[in-house]
Amino acid sequence: MSVHDYVRRRFVSSAYAEPVDLAGKKIIVTGASAGSLGFETARTLAQWGASVVVTTRSNAGAAVEAIQGQLQEAGARQRVDAHALDLSQRDSVISFVRWFVEAHGDSLDVLVNNAGIHLDLLSRWKEPRLTDDGFEIQWRTNYLGTAHLTHLLLPLLEQTGQATSDARIVNVVSHLHVKGSNDDLFGATRPYRSWEAYGNSKLALMHMTNELQRRYAHKSHVQAYCLHPGSVFTNVAGRGLEGTGFIEKARNALSPVEAFFLKTAEEGAQTQVYCASQPRLRGGLYYEECKLAEASKEAANAEIAARLWNETQAWLGA
């Protein structure tokens, strides 16, 4: 073992999911641009035999071409398909689901909600950056858009769960959910800070995970999981980070150091692969490094989860 590999293993912890035969499984992975966590998640699941559909905000075909090339090199021939999806746009979510049903039928085994954006800590956005419909963009994309997509795909997941007793929703959150506050989920109570807004969006996803588990695990055998992938080195576009020119230049200059101490995208994808694939895995829980982890106390507030669910359903018009 080289000195480089020894030092990196000493400082960068990364568990790997055990391979599982996923032949016959139909899986959606959102946010799968080349070099991203979603890309590596989709590649691994397809290599294990699943039929995978990936989404990107643009140029979805490039992700498919890259994944197919890697699958061919590995000797696999599973189908990978793609479609554009912008979670911040209601019409885009509806269009994607319609396309999926027409192209792939009315069943789905696993939904991996990986897509999201993250405005930088030193972002130029000192005030909330709003979407066309008036929401802070991280909240609109990471939480509301994901909730909308999940809501529309739930009937397909329920159908699979009732037939096979194993359908799954995997929500990629972050340890930065600790930056969020339950008080802010129903209207801002603090001055705007982009990382706290990001934390709010991930905290909300954790509440959604718990409520999905409570409502659908017993009724329809749909299990819900949330996870922290770890600190991962991917390109700026892959991470969804947007910052100032100075910050981007500084990050580029320091990227070799950053890459040494952070996980690769392949390493970071392991826990979401684990949650999407491992048999008899307990749902309604928070995972990290392919094992159970401890979430914040705020994420365990069942009353807040139920209230947020009801308000989100009202927004969705459900």
Catalytic residue numbers, as ranges: 198
**CA–CA dist 100, 160 (Å, integer):** 15
Nearest-5° angle of CA 116, CA 125, CA 316?
Answer: 45
**Cβ–Cβ < 8 Å for 47, 76:** yes
84 SS3 class: strand
* DSSP per residue, 202-249: HHHHHHHHHHHHHHHHHHH-EEEEEEE--SB---HHHHTEE--HHHHH
**CA–CA dist 97, 85 (Å, integer):** 9
DSSP collapsed to 3 states, 267-279: HHCHHHHHHHHCC
136 SS3 class: strand
**CA–CA dist 62, 70 (Å, integer):** 13
Of the candidates 160, 116, 104, 161, which has an alpha carbon nearest to the alpha carbon of residue 142? 116
**CA–CA dist 238, 138 (Å, integer):** 15
**CA–CA dist 295, 299 (Å, integer):** 6
Name the β-bridge partners of 228. 288
Q: Within a 10 A sphere around the Cβ of 195, how many other Cβ atoms? A: 17
Cβ burial of 53 (10 Å; 0-12, 13-18, 19+) is buried
Name the β-bridge partners of 167. 222
